[in-house]
C-alpha cells in the first residue's frame, strides 16, 4: 500500500460537500481576473503585505493596500458589513482570513 492509498478515497457525496465548502472560502485568481475584465468587480481586492513603496512597484490592478497590521475593527468599518474581501498572497491571505471576521 502506498502513501497515496493508505487512506480510502472520499465518496462522491463527501467530495461534493468538501469542495462546495471550499468555494465559500476561496476563489481562483483566474475568476478574479475574469470579473475585472468584465467590469463585474463586486468585491474589494486587498494587498495586505509590504510597504507602500513595494505596493506601488508591484500589485494586482485594482488592489487596495491595507497592511495586515492595520486591519482593525475601526479601519474595516469604512466598508459596509456585507463587503466581500478577496485577499491575495497565500500566507497573508490565511492570516487576514482569521483577522477580518473578528
The torsion defined by the Cα of 9, 12, 16 and 19, in degrees rounded to 10, comes to 20
**What are 53's three cell numbers?**
513603496
User: Which pTM value belongs to this model?
Assistant: 0.71
For domain 12-99, say whether CATH 3.40.250.10 is its number: yes
How does pLDDT run across 40-56, given as a tens digit for each residue? 999 999 998 888 998 99
Average pLDDT (61-88) is 92
Give residue 98's pLDDT band: very low, low, confident or very high (50, 70, 90): low
**How high is the mean pLDDT of the chain?**
87
Domain ranges of the chain: 12-99
> Which of 59, 34, 38, 46 has the alpha carbon at shortest distance from 92?
46
pLDDT of amino acid 93: 58
Amino acid at each position: 500500500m502506498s502513501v497515496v492509498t493508505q487512506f480510502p478515497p472520499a465518496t462522491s457525496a463527501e467530495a461534493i460537500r468538501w469542495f462546495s465548502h471550499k468555494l465559500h472560502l476561496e476563489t481562483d485568481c483566474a475568476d478574479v481576473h475574469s470579473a475585472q475584465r468584465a467590469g463585474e468587480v463586486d468585491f474589494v481586492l486587498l494587498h495586505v503585505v509590504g510597504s507602500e513603496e513595494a505596493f506601488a512597484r508591484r500589485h494586482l490592478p485594482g488592489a487596495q493596500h491595507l497592511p495586515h497590521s492595520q486591519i482593525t475593527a475601526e479601519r474595516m468599518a469604512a466598508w459596509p458589513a456585507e463587503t466581500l474581501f478577496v485577499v491575495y498572497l497565500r500566507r497573508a491571505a490565511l492570516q487576514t482570513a482569521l483577522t477580518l471576521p473578528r
